[in-house]
Structure 1
Amino acid sequence: MSNGRTKVLIIGGGFGGLFCARSLGGDDVDVTLLDRAACHVFQPLLYQCATGTLSIGQISRSLREELARHRNVTTLLGEAVDLDADARRVTARRPDASTFELDYDVLVVAAGMRQSYFGRDDFAKWAPGMKTLDDALTIRRRLFAAFEIAETLAPGPERDGWLTFAIAGGGPTGVELAGQIREMATRALANEFHSIEPEDARVLLFDGGQCVLDSFAPGLAAKAATILEGLGVEMHMGVHVTDVRREGITVTPKAGGPSEDHAARTVLWTAGVEAVPFARRVADKLGATSDHAGRIAVEADLTVPGHDEIFVIGDLVGRDHLPGVAENAMQGGLHVASCLRRDLKGKPRKPFRYRDLGSAAYISRGHALLQAGPVKLTGVLGWLGWGFIHIAFLTGVQNRVSTVATWLSTIARARRTDRTFMLGSGTSPEQPYTWAACGPVTHPRAVDPA
């Protein structure tokens, strides 16, 4: 740009990037927000989309629409792939694989994390993660199609495999998925099938720790375990998942001992996260220190050492054991905007101070956990607190209203109104039916979905 204003380039439209861009709206800077999906996704509710409670439109909003009133903010679709720190330029890739370049005066890396399979990326074929809208829709397809396929099978091991759901990871996402699958099977689907009893569906939850939700207070974690057991979730603690395949998984005790095979045609992965490739590229190009997951060591003001023009915020921050939660990203985005405004006024930047607003996890109807400082809530009170927090941070008034209405309907009638799933087309490589045999499908009518 030729107007002499500071050019701010934000990589990522998650909580950190969005809050930074919105805060800078109207300031004397030119902001470009680059995101690979062109929409803001409320990740804490992805599991409700996956299990049919909410639609993708209720938990996401177009970044272009969200930022339209800020005339100094431009949104672009693309994925950052390379950095030239000397020229202050980022190379981005379009969906068609062509590239373009973006210059900046200030760079804000808010690209977030992706699912980690701890070096076994081959697991992803059979065990989708829970980080994007695509992931949520993939999981929805697998969950509801599993019941449909089981309905066509005679009683026996094959049917049992389709009615067994394995979840790797006992953190908030894993716990929420486990609880919702059991609630879905026992309430929403209970009277809709003829050959199977959906409430017989087994949900197996595996984790390497000694308890679920180990980031919560011990009392709350114990309460969560009790609620899950009451729902019928089978918990296997202290184990590593060592193999994932078409028919199930293998787990190995951390303390040693023989491995165990579990037949499960639906496996979901929530066990870990790692930095996106661009974040690792940034660390490499800048010579910055990063941990095993790719979090980048930063200064007190969230800038990369030796580069006060490059900020890192959100899950990618490798400092002070900051948690990978939405509040950290939001506060980081607001902090960067504050720093830039102080720069414009010739004032020194202030260090970033994270304020812990608490953590929450929803398990089933009437059961949620909420901890905020000394306040620890469970049961209905935790559930109400959880709902209030999530509604408050959803983008767009329409999304808030429709989400509340959907929740009320679900509570009253046990319905899940967004259960539609697509199997894809045998002739389209963009939407393959995930259980189809590997390789090109030349005769769609001959495809065996099992």
Structure 2
Amino acid sequence: MDSTSGTGASPPRIIIVGGGFGGIAAARALRKAPARVLLIDRTNHHVFQPLLYQVATSILAPEHVAAPIRHVLLGQGNTTVIQAAVTGVDVEKKVCLVDGVPLPLPYDYLVLATGVQHSYFGHDEYAEYAPGLKTLTDAVQFRNKILGAFEACERTPVPRDHFELLTFVIVGGGPTGVELAGAIAELARQTLAAEFRRFDPASLKLILVEAGPRILPSFDEALAAAATAKLTKLGVDVRTGARVEKVDAEGVLVQGERIRTGNVFWAAGVKGSPAAHWLGADADRAGRVKVLADCSVPAHPEIFVVGDTACLEEGGKPLPGVAQVAIQQGRYVGRLIAGRLKGKPAPPPFKYLNKGNLATVGRNFAVMEAFGIRTAGLFAKLVWAFVHIQFLVLTSSRIGTLYRWSWKVLTRQRLARLIIEPGSTRGARSPLVPDQQHAVNGVDPTSTTTARS
């Protein structure tokens, strides 16, 4: 008897790889399915990626944007979660190869929601000097690096002679780059300026680099212009049509100009996970698996790929790599599998419901286009906040995030300004500043004379 029919001696086995938006949505849709569901992820937590930049800039603590996957799926008796790394798939034998698991794990249905990785467009050597922001670990390391730059400035006798300490370059003008630039600007000038004695706000250089003709290319041009104006008001130097030519230990080369800095952050591109290679499936230029209208892999109706890992076209264009696509696809696939196990007819092809685009710039400004409404300013910011609160998976995360946001609006204070990585202060010192700089020109390193005087 076919085990996938749900009538065999043992329940069908469903493996979900990835605990992001798509994987969690698929698992939740399978909560009542007559099957054994196994969710595998490299970490034990689900991360709300759109708010990672707020961890990186000390607005939120890690626990506000992440939740243990087992807790998220609490009460689903048919679901097991294991923390491990999938290293391959044998589509003929219908098994997953998992690091640390001695035997391959068999499946009747497989859902791949493995997300994307940073793409340096053929220059992987940039990764060492220009980290990206995709995981909770990335966000904490960003925070250490940003705060560490100000600490390095504080222990440098004449900060004005070392402008590279407080020069930040963000590569990529999409929502992540725009939101990160605005948040760093406010962190420096509204919070840290009052606490650090040698930091002169006028010495801060924030540069947002975009290779395309404008930032926020997925937004209406007028909204992108409004966001540019807001960033400029915050002191961000927005450079469009500017291609990065090199990133190394001394900084970044942009259109022939050498910018000396140890603070380069990458938000310019992504590439697919190894899923296409595992499956031997066709992929697009970004490495995403080309799937059919029901999110299944051609010739393999038991394998589904969702979210950023999948390439599904609607209207002649691939669906964007945003959370809503992953959530809707994960839910669709979960319900499709559950229905198939119960002998129900196949649902119509997947159809994405575009709920609009949102991006925030600073504490009281955002841009929004949704359901025919295009606006920028405080109203868009309130909508942005409401939407993001709603999509946090735990009530405790919503309450904690709302409290932190309210406190920041009222006081402009950020309560998560912690450098917690062991030894991070060693890495915070700029390699461009000699270790013995304290003795230069006879300046006492313990002096509290500020660079503003």
2:310 corresponds to 1:325: no
Partner of 1:342: helix, strand, or coil?
helix
Letter of the 2:33 partner, please give it: D
1:328-369 residue CA offsets vs partner (Å, 9 max, x unmatched): 000001100121122123212421110101111111011011
Aligned with 1:374 (options 372, 375, 380): 372
Counterpart-to-counterpart distance in 2, 1:290 and 1:395: 31
Distance 2:218 2:128 in 1: 29
**Cα RMSD (Å):** 2.2
User: For 1:281-312, what per-residue CA distance to the aligned partner results, in whole angstroms no more than 9, with x for missing partners?
Assistant: 2242xxx2111211111111010000000001
Percent of residue pairs identical: 37
* 2:46 match: secondary structure: strand
* In structure 2, C-alpha distance between the alignment counterparts of 1:344 and 1:161, rounded to whole Å: 60
Confirm whether residue 299 of structure 1 aligns to residue 295 of structure 2: no
- Which residue, out of 66, 71, 75, partners 1:65? 71
- State the secondary structure of the residue aligned to 2:284: coil
Cα separation, partners in 2 of 1:141 and 1:51, compared to 1, 3 Å: same
Which consecutive aligned stretches of 4+ in structure 1 deviate over 3 angstroms post-superposition? 154-158, 431-438, 447-450
Shift in CA distance, 93/158, structure 1 to aligned 2, threshold 3 Å: farther
Task: Compute the displacement of 1:157 (Å).
Answer: 6.4
**Match of residue 357, structure 1, among 344, 355, 358:** 355
Unaligned runs of 5+ in 2: 439-453
Asked whether 1:409 is paired with 2:407, we answer yes
Query: Does structure 2 retain, via aligned residues, the 8 Å contact 1:168–1:174?
Result: yes
Distance 1:237 1:437 in 2: 27
1:237-256 alpha-carbon deviations (Å, 9 max, x no partner): 1122121122210012xxxx
Aligned to 2:19: 13
Of 113, 116, 124, the residue aligned with 2:116 is 113
The residue identity in structure 1 corresponding to 2:36 is D
Distance in 1 separating the partners of 2:307 and 2:112: 9
Please state how far the C-alpha of 1:60 moved relative to its aligned partner.
0.2
Instruction: Provide closer, same or farther for how the CA distance between residues 199 and 79 of structure 1 changes in structure 2, counting only shifts above 3 A.
Output: farther
Equivalent residue letter for 2:268: A
State the 1:23 CA deviation. Answer: 1.4
With over 3 angstroms needed to count, the CA separation of the structure-2 counterparts of 1:448 and 1:393, relative to structure 1, is farther
Residue 168 of structure 2 corresponds to 165
Match 1:93 to one of 96, 99, 104: 99
| SS across alignment from 1:364 | coil
* 1:120-172 CA distance string (max 9 Å, x none): 11111111100001110111011001011012224366521011000000000
Return the offset for 1:433.
5.1
1:302-313 correspondence to structure 2 within 5 Å: 302-313=295-306
Q: Which residue of 1 aligns with 2:276?
A: 280
Check conservation: 1:423, 1:433, Cα contact below 8 A. Answer: no
Q: Contact 2:148 / 2:429 at 8 angstroms: preserved in 1?
A: no
Q: Which is higher, the Rg of structure 1 or of structure 2?
A: 2
CA contact (8 A) 2:154 2:198 kept: yes
Equivalent of 2:182 in 175, 179, 182: 179
User: Which amino acid counterpart does residue 337 of structure 2 have in structure 1?
Assistant: L
Distance verdict in 2 for CA 1:377–1:3, change over 3 Å: farther
Which residues of 2 match residues 16-95 of structure 1 at below 5 A?
16-94=22-100
Q: Deviations over 1:52-74 (max 9, x none)?
A: 00010000000011112101010
Q: Could you report, residue by residue, the CA deviation over 1:75-119 in whole angstroms, capped at 9, with x for unpaired residues?
A: 01011111111111001114xxx6552111000010000111111
Q: Which runs of 5+ in 1 are unaligned?
A: 253-258, 426-430, 439-446
The structure-2 alpha-carbon separation of the partners of 1:112 and 1:432, relative to structure 1 and needing over 3 Å to count, comes to farther
Cα distance in 2 for residues equivalent to 1:123 and 1:448: 29
For the residue of structure 1 that corresponds to 2:126, the secondary structure is: helix
Per-residue CA distance 1:306-335 (angstroms, 9 max, x = gap): 000000100122121101000000000110
C-alpha distance in 1, partners of 2:201/2:10? 64
Greater RCO (Cα-Cα under 8 Å, separation 6 or more): 2
1:444 maps to none
Whole-Å Cα distance in 1 between the matches of residues 287 and 161 of structure 2? Answer: 41
Separation in 2 of the partners of 1:449 and 1:120? 33
Deviation at 1:3, TM superposition (A): 4.6
**Cα offsets for 1:204-253 (capped at 9, x unmatched):** 0111111110100111111101101111100111122121122210012x
Structure 2 counterpart of 1:298, which letter?
V
Contact map agreement 1:436 1:448 (CA 8 A) in 2: no
Q: Secondary structure at the match of 1:4?
A: coil
Q: AA paired with 1:108?
A: V
1:148 aligns with 2:141: no
Distance 2:428 2:192 in 1: 22
Q: 1:423: how far off?
A: 4.5
2:320 counterpart of 1:315: no
Q: What is the aligned length? A: 425
State TM-score, norm by structure 2.
0.90
Match of 2:444 in 1: none
Contact 1:246–1:265 (CA under 8 A) maintained in structure 2 = yes
- CA contact 1:182–1:199 (8 Å) conserved in 2: no
- TM-score of the two chains, using structure 1 as the length reference: 0.90
2:341 to 316, 341, 344: 344
Q: Does the CA contact (< 8 Å) of 1:343 and 1:349 recur in 2?
A: no
Residue 250 of structure 1 pairs with residue 253 of structure 2: yes
One-letter amino acid matched to 2:310: V
State the AA in 2 paired with 1:73.
T
The residue aligned with 1:256 is: none
Which residue is 2:243 aligned to?
240
- Residues 1:165 and 1:436: Cα distance change in structure 2 (over 3 Å): closer
How much has 1:449 moved relative to structure 2? 12
Rounded Cα–Cα distance in structure 2 between residues aligned with 1:402 and 1:3: 46
The corresponding residue for 2:259 is 262
State the alpha-carbon separation in 1 of the partners of residues 270 and 135 from structure 2: 13
Q: Which residue of 2 aligns with 1:225?
A: 228
